[in-house]
């Protein structure tokens, strides 16, 4: 098709990593050089060459810290912690000493030596079959480009200097590029490289900039000034779209806006089915700045309060009991009398506070993390437990343990909790002696022994993202196996069904706080299996409430019964899709 301005429309399909529609002219970012001119130096020049290197390292360190501070102010410490890995690279003495040794040995200028050493480190990590470690290879390359730019006296942050509204077109974007973008000017971005789990993708979604990555050759076919249409929801990019295409998307944007306005009108309505069954909707949050959004979008209370934000991206040590208690109290007060479920620390080798020492692990997702890490460091754990208990003077506070895999972990954690209660009682500190304590069900072993764990807790919270990945042995960020990540797989459906039945047999309640709860297509299935509560990000609450209010509870039970005797994930998904298409087609339009 030919666009109105005479150029042929080019259609590309990539990975949509940040939803939304954006239309603007293209701004191509120059691809940062990955070569370095080699120059022989004399022995007398070695000290000055090393001094150049160390000065560039210091400048790079300051730049990254500045970017990290800016991100923390805008998006919070959780997103700022992405740059901890960059700081580790620029401060890595073994890396630095190898560059210096090579300069001395080969009598070469620093640029080619730095590039060779960093490429060797990055290539080794990239070959490891672990998504976390392969992402570290990208961190090394990003920091190396920044050091090379500083050695050359170049402006490294190209995104910061964009002075007109545009769609950024780039071969790849580092997290530091995304963090430094002028959000008033950059309406979207598209790249050749990238994945849905990269730090750049996470930053784009947090910044709410429509983005598509993994387009392979967009920098080869797009030119400066071309009109670009970005569909970050579906992953489509149109270069020089036709008037028909633009009109189609104008209508879609208007329809989406009307749907959102109608959904926002549900804010104060009960999440109740048409036949009177109430399904509470709570919110998943990780930053105190999100507290106002909980009620504003129609959720009531917090079903998952991630506490890692207090620990990550800090320069002044770990938060003490008073600082933690103040944060938990702020959350409790803001939601009272609605519940606030505080999850204890879910830290591991993939996300650690600055200065927190622990051995490197080849597979941190199966390593010393979450409840395991807390139990191995009782002083750290008890500080948090005491802080949560102090906040529990507001009787809406509850707490839960992450990544439990056996009943012994729950019992050990409860023992430490009782010790904290005794200490606070002796100190005359007020707390709720009957605080509800639950556990996350994210590991298949925990799901299968739910009946053994149940006598020791008050509730279960199903973290379906990890439950699916651990059950299916699938990293959904790995494009080679991502197609195997299926929430409707019969193993997942049966595990959820079993956990819910056990919880009800023991008089407990069960919440789903993973992505399944936020998928409108799967909500009727979860409700039909007896899930008592759904916890989603605040922005997703209106859509989920809309589904609940258009659903008959009796129909959801029938759906679940049919799903549990189905033969495949595809059959279950088709049943769910048919129901949502029938009762709430508008949410299909928004989510697909």
Residue 194 lies in a domain: yes
> Does 23 share its domain with 50?
no
Task: Please indicate, yes or no, if residue 364 is contained in any of the structural domains.
Answer: no
Same-domain status, 196 and 237? yes
Do residues 240 and 96 share a domain?
no
Same domain, 203 and 252: yes
Give residues with Cβ within 8 angstroms of 259, minimum separation 6: 586, 587, 589, 590
Q: Is residue 63 part of a domain?
A: yes
Which pLDDT belongs to residue 1? 45
64 lies in the same domain as 126 = yes
Q: Could you tell me if residue 167 is inside a domain?
A: yes
Q: What total number of domains does the chain contain?
A: 2
Note whether 371 and 413 are within 8 A (CB).
yes
Backbone angles phi, psi at 547, to 5 degrees: -60, -50
Final residue belonging to a domain, choices 203, 226, 258:
258
Q: What is the pLDDT of residue 256?
A: 81
CATH number of residue 190's parent domain = 3.50.30.10
> Are 22 and 62 part of one and the same domain?
no
The distance of Cα 517 from the centroid of its chain, to the nearest Å, equals 16
Same-domain check for residues 49 and 147 = yes
- Do the beta carbons of residue 266 and residue 549 sit within 8 Å? yes
Structure letter (DSSP) for residue 288: G
User: What is the reported pTM?
Assistant: 0.70
Q: Is residue 286 part of a domain?
A: no
- Res 2: pLDDT: 44
Indicate whether 91 and 172 sit together in one domain.
no
Of the residues 152, 182, 206, the one at which a domain ends: 152
> Looking at residue 354, what is its pLDDT?
61
Q: What is the 3-state secondary structure (H, E, C) of 299-319?
A: CCCEEEEECHHHCCCCCCCCC
The predicted pLDDT at position 115 comes to 87
15-46 core/surface letters (b: 16 or more CB in 10 A; e: else): bbbbbbbbbbebbbbeebeeebeeeebeeeee
Which residues are part of the catalytic machinery?
Answer: 199, 513
Residue 573: per-residue pLDDT: 96
Residues 133 and 179 grouped into a single domain: no
Closest CA to 79 of 158, 157, 173, 176: 176
Residues 19 and 70 in one domain: no
- The answer to whether residue 222 sits within a structural domain is yes
Other CB atoms within a 10 A radius of the CB of residue 362 amount to: 12
Instruction: Evaluate whether residue 389 is within a structural domain.
Output: no
- Do 254 and 165 lie in one domain? The reply is yes
Question: Over the chain (592 residues), what is each successive 10-residue block's mean pLDDT?
Answer: 64 87 87 67 87 86 75 62 74 86 90 87 70 67 80 60 85 72 84 74 74 88 90 92 93 86 88 96 87 90 91 77 96 96 84 65 76 94 98 97 97 98 97 97 97 98 93 76 87 98 98 91 97 91 94 97 96 96 84 64
Final residue before a domain boundary, out of 152, 169, 189: 152
Domain that holds residue 102: 43-152
Distance, C-alpha 490 to centroid of its chain: 26
Instruction: Supply φ then ψ for residue 516, to 5 degrees.
Output: -60, -35
Residue 215 lies in a domain: yes
Per-residue model confidence as pLDDT tens digits over 162-180: 878 999 998 887 766 776 6
CATH number for the domain that contains residue 69: 1.10.274.10
Residues 59 and 139 grouped into a single domain: yes
Smallest Cα–Cα separation from 86: which of 19, 153, 147? 147
Residue listed under structure tokens 């591991």: 348
Cα–Cα distance for residue pair 239/228, rounded to 1 Å:
5
């Amino acid at each position: 098709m030919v666009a109105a301005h005479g150029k042929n429309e080019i259609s590309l399909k990539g990975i949509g990593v940040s939803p939304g529609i954006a239309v603007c002219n293209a701004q191509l970012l120059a691809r940062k050089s990955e070569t370095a001119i080699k120059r022989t130096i004399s022995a007398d020049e070695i000290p000055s060459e090393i001094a150049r290197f160390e000065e560039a390292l210091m400048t790079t360190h300051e730049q990254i810290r500045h970017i990290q501070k800016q991100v923390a102010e805008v998006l919070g410490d959780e997103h700022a912690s992405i740059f901890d890995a960059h700081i580790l690279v620029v401060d890595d003495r073994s890396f630095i000493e190898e560059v210096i040794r090579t300069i001395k040995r080969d009598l070469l200028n620093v640029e080619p030596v730095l590039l060779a050493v960093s490429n060797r480190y990055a290539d080794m990590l990239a070959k490891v079959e672990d998504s976390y470690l392969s992402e570290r290879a990208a961190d090394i390359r990003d920091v190396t480009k920044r050091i090379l730019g500083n050695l050359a006296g170049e402006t490294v942050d190209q995104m910061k200097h964009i002075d007109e509204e545009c769609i950024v077109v780039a071969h790849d974007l580092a997290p530091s590029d995304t963090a430094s973008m002028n959000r008033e000017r950059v309406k979207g971005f598209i790249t050749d490289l990238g994945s849905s789990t990269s730090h750049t993708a996470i930053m784009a979604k947090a910044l709410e900039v429509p983005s598509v990555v993994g387009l392979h050759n967009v920098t080869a076919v797009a030119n400066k000034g071309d009109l670009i249409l970005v569909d970050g929801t579906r992953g489509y990019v149109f270069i020089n779209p036709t008037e028909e295409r633009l009109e189609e998307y104008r209508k879609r944007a208007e329809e989406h806006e009307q749907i959102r306005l109608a959904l926002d009108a549900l804010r104060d309505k009960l999440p109740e089915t048409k036949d009177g069954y109430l399904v509470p909707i709570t919110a998943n949050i990780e930053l105190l700045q999100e507290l106002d959004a909980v009620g504003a979008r129609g959720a009531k209370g917090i079903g998952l309060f991630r506490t890692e934000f207090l620990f990550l991206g800090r320069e002044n040590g770990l938060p003490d009991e008073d600082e933690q208690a103040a944060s938990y109290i702020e959350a409790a007060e803001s939601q009272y009398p609605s519940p606030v479920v505080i999850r204890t620390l879910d830290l591991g080798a993939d996300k650690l506070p600055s200065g927190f020492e622990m051995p490197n692990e080849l597979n941190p997702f199966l390593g010393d993390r979450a409840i395991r890490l807390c139990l191995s460091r009782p002083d750290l754990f008890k500080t948090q437990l005491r802080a949560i208990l102090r906040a529990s003077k507001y009787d809406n506070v509850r707490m839960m343990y992450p990544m439990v895999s056996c009943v012994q972990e729950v019992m050990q954690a409860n023992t430490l909790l009782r010790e904290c209660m005794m200490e606070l009682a002796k100190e005359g500190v007020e707390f709720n002696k009957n605080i509800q304590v639950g556990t996350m069900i994210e590991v298949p072993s925990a799901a299968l022994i739910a009946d053994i764990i149940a006598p020791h807790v008050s509730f279960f919270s199903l973290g379906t993202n990890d439950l699916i990945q651990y059950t299916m042995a699938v990293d959904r960020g790995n494009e080679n196996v991502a197609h195997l990540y299926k929430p409707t797989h019969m193993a997942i459906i049966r595990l959820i069904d079993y956990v819910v039945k056990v919880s009800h047999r023991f008089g407990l309640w069960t919440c789903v706080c993973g992505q399944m709860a936020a998928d409108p297509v799967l909500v009727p299935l979860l409700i039909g299996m007896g899930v008592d509560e759904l916890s989603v990000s605040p922005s997703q609450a209106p859509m989920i409430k809309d589904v609940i209010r258009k659903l008959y509870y009796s129909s959801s039970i029938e759906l679940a019964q049919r799903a549990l005797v189905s033969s495949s994930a595809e059959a279950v998904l088709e049943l769910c899709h048919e129901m949502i298409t029938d009762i709430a087609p508008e949410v299909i339009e928004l989510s697909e």
